[in-house]
Amino acid sequence: MRELPSLPDAPRDFESLVNEHRRGLRAFLLTIVQDYHLAEDILQETLSVVANRWAEEEIRDFWSFAREVARRQALKAIRQLKNQPVSLSEEAIESLHAAFDSMAEDSDESRTLALQGCLKKLPRRWMKILNLRYWEYQKINAIALALNTHANVVSVTINRAKSRLADCVSASLATRRVKS
């Protein structure tokens, strides 16, 4: 099996943190500005600011800090676009900020633990197919040949397994949030 991600408290380098959180920051910015190119520009400005601060001192919570910088950069960009309609008010952006903050509660560690538990619940054959596809990097046709089945069966099984895992992880994380 593949090596599990490191714990969130472990020291990390800037590049790995950026790679880990780039997608979430982009989604956050796209939700605010609703323009892909503008969101990309703001993301680059955000990462520049965060990189400068990272060089000065270690940031304890990269996600929260980067998201706050992104929010401020997005508000600044929106104010500069005075002639264009803005679809979100500053209050809506604050609510969005709070919603994305709750995403941070689902740390990598808790998500990994939830995924491990959910993987154990999958049927053995599904796990075999997932192992062949994602850990041994085999193509669909090669898996079908190895398991003496049709490629369509393998594809459908992979899609069902991914869907079941996503539902299971979401439910597990929601249960953990309710308990805490």
Q: Which amino acid is at 47?
A: L
In order along its 180 residues, the chain shows pLDDT tens digits of: 334 344 344 456 788 888 888 888 888 888 888 788 888 999 999 999 988 888 887 677 888 888 889 888 988 887 877 655 545 666 666 666 666 665 555 566 777 888 888 989 999 999 999 888 878 888 999 999 999 999 999 989 988 988 898 888 888 887 876 665
- Give me the residue label for tokens 């996600």: 63
* CATH code reported for the domain at 108-179: 1.10.10.10
Taking the CA of residue 23 as centre, how many other CA atoms within 13 Å lie in the half-sphere pointing to its CB? 4
Structure tokens at 105: 């509660």
- Return d(Cα 38, Cα 44) in angstroms, integer: 10
